[in-house]
């Protein structure tokens, strides 16, 4: 990993506070990106019960059933846990929180060609961090743009209340929840290069496009964090972790859950 730690400028902190998100360019070195890519290429060839359960049958027609997201890989893979606790990421989070961050979740999205996107939603609807909020660190493994399904954010919705989602369009979103943006706010695409990290507030409305390409994956390593002063979080995210990898104990919020409930398969068999 890179030895130098990144400290945000006042302009960067203001960007996060006013817009709800911040891109830190090339926070991950390419050696780190390639190590993550290789780790999940290996995971992608097997079944890990409760974490990664692909449909490897010849009858499967849904690319997201062959390459579903990997949930909580830090719980079974040391490399995933190491990068969830990446020192440069934690340094940025210290600046944003102005206190120590706690790691709560890791995920890996393969987003293969043809894969549906994820409808607009709010992360703290699921994590239920309180008091305070979660922050996501969304690391681009591949370059991400409108064609291969990059992330969409709705700027300045970080202060928007957590709302009860509507039902999404199953033909475009693999998860069921959809949060409609305010009338005066529009979703904009976030273009990222490999190694860039997008940080965003847990109330920020965001989602993603379908991958419209025929030959480009849109792989991403995504982690969620809580402020250390929080005293509770959805039980789905226990245990949390300090920077040194030791566990942090917090009370459970009774609701919340995984980041998005999935629709039934488009092509059942």
pTM over 0.85: yes
pLDDT tens for 13-48 read 999 999 999 999 999 999 999 999 999 999 999 999
Reduced 3-state DSSP string for the chain? CCCCCCCCCHHHHHHHHHHCEEEECCCCCHHHHHHHHHHHHHHCCCCECCCECCCCCCCCCCHHHHCCCEECHHHCCHHHHHHHCCHHHHHHHHHHHCCCEEEEEEEEECCCCCCCECCCECCHHHHCCECCCEEEEEEECCCECCCCCCEEECCCCCCCCCCCCEECCCCCECECEECCCCCCCCCEECCECCCCEEEEECCCCEEECCCCCCCCCCCEEEEEEEECCCCEEEHHHCCEECCCCCEECCEEECCCCCCCCECCCCCCC
Domain 10-253 in CATH: superfamily? q2cbj1_9rhob like domain (2.60.120.620)
**In the predicted model, what is the mean pLDDT of residues 111-130?**
96
Model confidence at 87, in pLDDT bands (50, 70, 90)? very high
What are the residue ranges spanned by the domains of the chain? Answer: 10-253
């Amino acid at each position: 990993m890179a030895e130098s730690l990144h400290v945000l400028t006042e302009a960067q902190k203001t960007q996060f506070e006013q817009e709800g998100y911040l891109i830190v360019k090339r926070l991950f070195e390419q050696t780190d990106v390639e190590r993550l890519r290789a780790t999940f290429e290996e995971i992608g060839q097997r079944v890990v019960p409760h974490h990664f359960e692909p449909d490897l049958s010849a009858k499967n027609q849904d690319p997201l059933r062959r390459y579903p997201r990997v949930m909580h890989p830090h719980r079974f893979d040391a490399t995933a846990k190491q990068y969830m606790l990446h020192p440069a990421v934690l340094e940025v989070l210290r600046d944003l929180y102005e206190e120590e961050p706690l790691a709560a979740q890791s995920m890996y999205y393969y987003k293969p060609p043809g894969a549906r996107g994820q409808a607009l939603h709010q992360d703290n609807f699921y994590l239920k961090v309180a008091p305070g909020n979660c922050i996501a660190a969304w690391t681009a493994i591949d370059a991400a743009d409108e064609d291969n399904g990059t992330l969409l954010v709705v700027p300045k919705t970080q202060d928007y209340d957590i709302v009860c989602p509507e039902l999404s369009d199953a033909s475009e979103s693999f998860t069921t929840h959809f949060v409609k943006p305010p009338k005066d706010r529009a979703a904009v695409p976030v273009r990222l290069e490999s190694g860039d990290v997008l940080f965003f507030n847990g109330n920020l409305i965001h989602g993603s496009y379908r991958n419209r390409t025929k030959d480009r994956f849109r792989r991403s390593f995504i982690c969620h964090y809580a402020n250390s002063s929080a005293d509770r979080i959805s039980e789905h995210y226990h245990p949390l972790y300090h920077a040194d990898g030791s566990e942090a104990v917090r009370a459970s919020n009774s609701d919340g859950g995984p980041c998005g409930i999935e629709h039934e398969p488009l092509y059942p068999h």
